[in-house]
Structure 1
Amino acid sequence: MAEHLVPHFHNGPGVPVIEVGAREFMCIGAPPPYDHPHVFLDMGSDREIICPYCSTLYRFDPTLKPADARPAECRWENAVEAA
């Protein structure tokens, strides 16, 4: 089984901004079963991107590891199991 390489984040807490350590990731909206279609987002060289489904603003923070988020509870820990 292939290892899951794309971090997944959600905005279950309803925060205005989620800082992430990756420029490419999946937004799932909220933890299942309330998730939206899992959307691959790619910031490219930008520092911010808005999810087209849930309007969550993601901001790149180079001090974070690729799979980390601030707030930490916005990282979906079960992404590997669901892949």
Structure 2
Amino acid sequence: MAQHLVPHFHNGPGVPVIEVGAREFMCIGAPPPFDHPHVFLDMGGEREIVCPYCSTLYRLDPTLGPAEARPAECRWENAAQAA
């Protein structure tokens, strides 16, 4: 069976907006060990969502792949290890 992983993103660089290619994802705040509780965010029919822990604004960019972010360094590479 194929495993579907939810993409994880963080705002370690402190940017005002992170563009993502997924409507459903996890915000971890900052790279570990400085992360906040991992929050599942679901944009639903909206194009933006704000993380309730770190106030990062995420904006949907449908030209990005589901696990991609802009800036690219806001994608947490070790998400599979934490699952």
Pick the TM interval, shorter chain: over 0.9
Tell me what 2:10 maps to. 10
**Pairs within 5 Å for 1:1-83:** 3=3, 5-83=5-83
**Poorly superposed stretches of 4+, deviation over 6 Å:** none
AA in 1 matched with 2:48: E
Once the 2 structures are TM-superposed, how far is the Cα of residue 4 of structure 1 from its aligned partner?
Answer: 5.0
In structure 2, runs of 5+ residues without a counterpart are none
- Computed over aligned residues only, the root mean square deviation of the Cα atoms, in angstroms, reads 1.0
Equivalent pair of 1:4/1:80 in contact (CA under 8 Å): no
Aligned mates of 2:21, 2:12 — CA distance in 1: 18
Q: How many pairs were matched up?
A: 82
In structure 1, runs of 5+ residues without a counterpart are none
